Amino acid sequence: MVAERGKFTNKLGFILAAAGSAVGLGNIWKFPFEVGLGGGAAFVLMYLVFCFLLCFPVMVTEIAIGRKTRKNPVGAFTALGFKNWRFIGVFGVFAGVLILSFYNVIAGWAFGFFFEMVTGNFSVSKHFGDFTSDMFKVGTYAVIFMSATSFFVGRGVSGGIEKLSKILMPTLIIMIVIIAAYALTLPNAFEGIKFYLIPDLNEITINTVGGALRQAFFSLSLGMGTLITYGSYLSKNDNVISSAAYITLADVSIAFVAGMMIFPLVAFINQGDMSNVASDQAGPGLIFITMPRAFETLGPNLGAFVGGTFFLLLSFAALTSTVSLLEVPTAYIVDEWKVSRKKAVLIASIIIFLIGLPSMLANGASDFFSNQFKIAGSSDFLSLVSKITDSMLLLGGMCIVIFAAYIWKKEQLNEEISNGYEGFKKKLVSKYLSFTISYVSPIILLVLFVIVVLSEFFGVNVYNYLSILF
């Protein structure tokens, strides 16, 4: 069964694939508008803190569990001898399926905007609602994107996922750097940089902290079983700690450069006024409405080239993530149902696409899914599912570190990490990881999960209560 599941050919292949999972729409689509909602640099500061100090230990734990068991997220807990804890894996697979169900819709939008930009149709940004409500158009793009995702996952770990990552990841980095460098030459670009890099500590609230942690988990693919799955394909001779460090660094770096690309363009189109970024220009409109306006001002030819390149970049980034998200249920079906990879990919793809239909209808195509789900501050069904999955990732990450620290035991975790890292148990990083997953991660994740649920789903502004108390 291990041979049928496949494996990465080397450590670089694993790092690029896992980084590709982390680097996606979460970095180039979601990160910039979350920064806008979070007040700019204050959000960025909290995001960086969480990625390196809190999320890194969770990532190491997930990879180690996967490598130890050579199983999918559900089968991993059974293989460790704790069948009653397999609910964590089920929860993670379900979260990943839900994420891919709406992620594929947004990926389809990005792919569609690529064609709109290269043909010079900048007016699509003024009629974004008409674009998203055209079921034939967005449905076609979504089918194409899911088909491409299925194709690469169906080719296996080394023949599909790894090869795709080795091509797309360097391409992504080059494209982002080029567009970011160009954006910095535009008038008023420095105003965007100030908004992005100079923090106003008054902007750090409970909502900012919660949003930054949710974004960190989302962008690093934590709590959804992806890294357990990818870890199951990793060689015993590879260093888990350095692999996780490279993945985290790649994710954070690309998200950071994406901000350097987005906010100078926003400042350019707004003539240096960044006051609306945290309100009406935040959200998906920051990418699909504001950015095409910026490209239009560059003129028909240059605008079409830069705009087309930007949305092609967004599509590439989306593909590296959709592939990893589809791999999770595929690995589960292969391991637990004992069917071939190609059949597993077909089953998972069809189910996920069908689950995603309400999200596809939620932006104008259906009044019910577009207007009857105004819960937890969401504007439609897709937004609601996004908020639910963000919370699920926090809960999943908390359960994983509690399991590793107190059920599987830290000694077993350290033993697995020691494979490929001689002398790990005597290193300072070992003590840091043990302390973090035992105390820091569970407590912070629990507190923020409760705060997020209370504020997002019950309208309880915890920040106001804390302000009164302290």
- 8 Å CB contact between 223 and 92: yes
Q: What pLDDT sits at residue 160?
A: 80
Q: What pLDDT sits at residue 456?
A: 77
Whole-angstrom CA distances from 433 to 66, 165, 307 are 17, 29, 43
Q: How confident is the model at residue 158 (pLDDT cuts 50, 70, 90)?
A: confident
- Report pLDDT digits (tens) over 296-324: 888 889 889 888 988 888 888 888 889 88
- Report pLDDT digits (tens) over 259-292: 898 889 888 888 888 776 655 445 566 678 877 8
3-class SS of residue 8: coil
Q: How many CA atoms lie within 13 A of 316 on its CB side?
A: 19
- Report pLDDT digits (tens) over 444-465: 889 888 887 887 787 777 666 6
Output the six-digit token pair for 302: 């240059």
HEC-encoded secondary structure of 15-80 = HHHHHHHHCCHHHHHHHHHHHHHCCCHHHHHHHHHHHHHHHHHHHHHHHHHHHHHCCCHHHHHHHC
Q: What pLDDT sits at residue 91?
A: 92
User: What is the CB neighbour count within 10 angstroms for residue 84?
Assistant: 8
Q: What pLDDT sits at residue 298?
A: 82
Q: Where are the domains of the chain?
A: 2-469
Amino acid at 48: L
pLDDT exceeds 50 at position 437 = yes
Q: What is the mean pLDDT of the chain?
A: 86
Q: How confident is the model at residue 470 (pLDDT cuts 50, 70, 90)?
A: very low
The helix, strand and coil proportions of the chain, stated in percent and rounded to the nearest 5, come to 80, 0, 20
Q: How confident is the model at residue 440 (pLDDT cuts 50, 70, 90)?
A: very high
pTM: 0.89
Cα–Cα dist 143/199, whole Å: 41
Cα–Cα dist 438/419, whole Å: 21
- Report pLDDT digits (tens) over 111-142: 999 999 999 888 888 888 899 999 999 999 99
pLDDT exceeds 70 at position 53 = yes
- More confident site: 466 or 63: 63
Amino acid at 405: A
- 8 Å CB contact between 440 and 398: no
Q: Summarize the confidence of residues 349-362 as an average pLDDT.
A: 96
CA angle at residue 359 from 355 to 365, to 5 degrees? 125
- Report pLDDT digits (tens) over 322-351: 988 999 999 999 999 999 999 999 999 999
CATH class of the domain whose range is 2-469: mainly alpha
- 8 Å CB contact between 404 and 438: no
